[in-house]
């Protein structure tokens, strides 16, 4: 499939797609509303198909890369679903204990894009771990639409506990120094914010276009935050002013970067919403932030 860019779509279609992937629009709603923007063979159905992830585009670090060791592991979630599963990676030739990063997926579970992010971190001498919130229903199913549907049906309270349990699990691993950072995307960005609320000893949090906690919860944050936003993302960005006020009041160390001319999901290199320049710059900032706050 030809790789398209966000600029190949009318802005209204990208907003409709954002509603579709976040459950506020059905497939039929998307097709009906996008139809008026169709041109020739680029029908509403063709637009939807072209906006779906192509995971072959995203693999920066092969699964069998000899420089890392990666495995699927189980971990305990006593306040959630009992036993969970996730993807764990570390450098193959690590000497001594390493700082660790939890990676939290979007609202589709542990897909190949998130696994690749885990491997990217392992390649630069972090231990990295991504839990799969879909473990109680059999794990990520390999189909994004199915994954999104079953994700939405999970018990939200248990789902939160299952993801939170990744922090103490990673801290307990013998390969880690006990210093833990967290990065998450979309739904996962909101989880990273919630982790910063829950764990006062979190070493650093990097939420990408994530929903914000209440002012009351934000006051509990101790971890430094690197907040990454897309410029064309009103659903998420409207929560920033109140969040920033709460962070300032609580004297939380934070940086916020909003990337011009970008869409929600700009770091995800499997879809046309990917923006190469913003993704690379934001990732450079993420790595530097973790090196400063988690590795130091």
Mean pLDDT of 1-25: 85
What pLDDT sits at residue 49? 87
Q: Which two tokens stand for residue 195?
A: 């982790």
Mean pLDDT of 200-229: 97
Kind and range of the H or E element at 21? helix 11-21
d(CA 117, CA 96): 22
Q: Is the per-residue pLDDT at 15 higher than 70?
A: yes
pLDDT band at 2 (very low <50, low <70, confident <90, very high): low
Q: Which residue has the tokens 């069998």?
A: 64
Mean pLDDT of 189-193: 98
Q: Is the per-residue pLDDT at 94 higher than 90?
A: no
pLDDT by residue (tens digit) across 26-37? 999 999 999 999
pLDDT by residue (tens digit) across 141-184? 999 989 999 999 999 999 999 999 999 999 999 999 999 999 99
Backbone angles phi, psi at 243, to 5 degrees: -65, -45
What pLDDT sits at residue 58? 67
pLDDT by residue (tens digit) across 107-133? 999 999 999 999 999 999 999 999 999
Backbone angles phi, psi at 260, to 5 degrees: -60, 145
Q: What is the mean pLDDT of the chain?
A: 94
The answer to whether residues 212 and 240 touch, using CB atoms and an 8 Å cutoff, is yes
pLDDT by residue (tens digit) across 212-222? 999 999 999 99
Exposed e or buried b per residue across 260-294, where buried means at least 16 C-beta atoms within 10 angstroms of its C-beta: eebbbbbbbbbbbbbbeebbeebbeebbebbbebb
The answer to whether residues 72 and 132 touch, using CB atoms and an 8 Å cutoff, is no
List the single range of 16-20, 174-178, 229-233, 285-289 with lowest mean pLDDT.
16-20
Tell me which long-range contacts 247-251 makes (C-beta under 8 A, separation of at least 24). Answer: 247/218, 247/221, 249/215, 249/219, 250/218, 250/219, 250/220, 250/221
3-state secondary structure of 252: coil
What pLDDT sits at residue 30? 92
pLDDT band at 296 (very low <50, low <70, confident <90, very high): confident
The answer to whether residues 77 and 165 touch, using CB atoms and an 8 Å cutoff, is yes
Q: Where in the chain is the domain with CATH 3.40.50.1820?
A: 55-295
d(CA 40, CA 117): 37
Q: Checking DSSP bridges between strand 68-77 and strand 82-91, what pairing results, if any? A: antiparallel
d(CA 69, CA 92): 5
Q: Domain spanning 55-295 has what CATH number?
A: 3.40.50.1820
DSSP per position, 182-198: EEEETHHHHHHHHHHHH
Q: Which two tokens stand for residue 127?
A: 């231990």
Cα 103 to Cα 199, 246, 283: the distances in Å are 15, 25, 13
d(CA 296, CA 290): 9
Tell me which long-range contacts 139-142 makes (C-beta under 8 A, separation of at least 24). Answer: 139/85, 139/109, 139/110, 140/108, 140/109, 140/110, 140/111, 141/109
Give the global pTM. Answer: 0.92
Strand order through the sheet with 127-131: 68-77, 82-91, 127-131, 98-104, 176-185, 204-208, 225-232, 254-263
pLDDT band at 50 (very low <50, low <70, confident <90, very high): confident
d(CA 290, CA 178): 14
Q: Is the per-residue pLDDT at 1 higher than 60?
A: no
């Amino acid at each position: 499939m030809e790789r398209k860019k966000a600029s190949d779509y009318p802005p209204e279609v990208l907003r409709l797609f954002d509603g579709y992937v976040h459950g506020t629009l059905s497939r039929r709603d998307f097709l009906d509303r996008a139809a008026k923007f169709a041109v020739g063979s680029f029908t509403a159905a063709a637009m939807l198909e072209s906006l779906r992830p192509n995971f072959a585009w995203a693999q920066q670090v092969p699964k069998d890369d000899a420089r890392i060791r990666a495995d699927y592991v189980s971990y305990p979630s006593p306040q959630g679903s009992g036993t969970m599963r996730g993807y764990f990676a570390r450098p193959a030739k690590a000497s001594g204990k390493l700082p660790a990063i939890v990676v939290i997926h979007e609202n589709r579970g542990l897909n190949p894009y998130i696994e690749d992010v885990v491997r990217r971190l392992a390649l630069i001498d972090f231990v990295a771990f991504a839990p799969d919130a879909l473990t109680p229903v059999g794990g990520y199913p390999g189909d994004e639409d199915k994954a999104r549907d079953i994700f939405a049906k999970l018990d939200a309270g248990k789902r939160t506990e299952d993801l939170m349990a990744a922090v103490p699990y990673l801290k307990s691993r013998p390969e880690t120094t006990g210093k833990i950072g967290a990065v998450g995307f979309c739904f996962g960005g909101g989880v990273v914010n919630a982790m910063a609320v829950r764990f006062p000893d979190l070493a650093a949090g990097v939420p990408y276009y994530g929903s914000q906690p209440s002012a009351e919860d934000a006051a509990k944050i101790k971890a430094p935050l690197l907040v990454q936003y897309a410029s064309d993302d009103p659903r998420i960005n409207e929560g920033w002013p109140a969040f920033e006020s709460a962070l300032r009041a609580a004297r939380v160390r934070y940086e916020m970067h909003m990337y011009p001319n970008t869409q929600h999901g700009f770091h995800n290199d499997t879809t046309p919403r990917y923006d190469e320049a913003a993704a690379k710059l934001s990732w450079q900032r993420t790595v530097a932030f973790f090196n400063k706050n988690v590795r130091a």
